[in-house]
Amino acid sequence: MERLIKLLFIAAAGIALLAGCKKETKITEVSSGKIIICFDHRVDDLPMVRDSLMYTNEAGNPYMINEIQYFISDFTLYGAGGSQVVIDDWKDIHYVDTDIPETWTWEVYDEIPQGWYDSVSFTFGITAEKNKSFMYVNPPERDMFWPEYLGGGYHYLKLNGKWLPAGQAYQTRPFDFHLGIGQIYFSYPDSITGYVQNYFTVCPPGSALQVINGQSTKFNIVMNIENWFKEPHIYDHDQWGGYIMQNQDAMALARENGHNVFTLELCKK
């Protein structure tokens, strides 16, 4: 009997020892790299020149560009098998301003799993869920506010410049080509009955890229400014005038033309 008890004790001790020595599950770290996004602004494949009446749009309007400011958000990379990586670890909204060189480069904080990505996309502007008034308290983002009575939140785009109206030889007029929340009016300008979200998703053509473990992949997002005014709609400053914030028909044209505005190109090493 004593021998049986001793054997049972040894067996129990062995089981306890095996349990205590259970093989630890090895955690495999996912190899990753970084991405750096640069923002470039061109007209007809040439670097944008500011404050010069050197451009003519598809409608025949001579025009100049003074400044461009905009937001992009929800930048997403699409991998094999439908996998997605959304940029949101540190910030998911990036502000670009042609007057502020520091905004021309976005060194993304997120670690991106290594591998090939078939394409990328981003939201031009800010989605309704995120576009909340007073979320920015400091300039320059704060100064992108969209008036509360027009829907609140922030501009998606300010493209400011001047154009030469038809029949004028020298007297230019300013235009504020601004995009944000649109309004539906019962009677203009006081009776607003609804709002229109004019942000949109951009899927730049030819945007495949590779992220390499421990390295940074750098690429340009190029705004081809002339396309705001020509594809798929010809935008005529003489028709729409200089101020479109309360003109949803004009903003709808801008939104639809915006799908063809951006391209992506990898930076040469």
Per-residue confidence in pLDDT tens, the chain, 269 aa: 444 344 334 444 444 434 443 444 444 466 999 999 999 999 999 999 999 999 999 999 999 999 999 999 999 999 987 889 999 988 999 999 999 999 999 999 999 999 999 999 999 999 999 999 999 999 999 999 999 999 999 999 999 999 999 988 889 999 999 999 999 998 776 789 999 999 999 999 989 999 999 999 999 999 999 999 999 999 999 999 999 999 999 999 999 999 999 999 987 65
- Residue 19: inside a domain, yes or no? no
Question: DSSP secondary-structure letter at 125?
Answer: S
3-state secondary structure of 212: coil
> Is 53 exposed, middle or buried, given 0-12, 13-18 or 19+ CB atoms closer than 10 A?
middle
Overall number of domains in the chain: 1
- Residue 12: inside a domain, yes or no? no
Contact (CB, 8 A) for 161 and 66: yes
- pTM value is 0.87
Which residues span the domain enclosing 216? 34-266
- Residue 116: inside a domain, yes or no? yes
- Residue 259: inside a domain, yes or no? yes
- Residue 121: inside a domain, yes or no? yes
3-state secondary structure of 58: coil
Q: Can you tell me which residue has the tokens 């009677």?
A: 187
Cα within 13 Å of Cα(211), Cβ side: 25
- Residue 79: inside a domain, yes or no? yes
- Residue 21: inside a domain, yes or no? no
- Residue 4: inside a domain, yes or no? no
Q: How far is CA 5 from CA 8, 10, 16, 19, 60, in A?
A: 5, 9, 16, 21, 102
Separation between Cα atoms, residue 42 and residue 22, nearest integer Å? 62
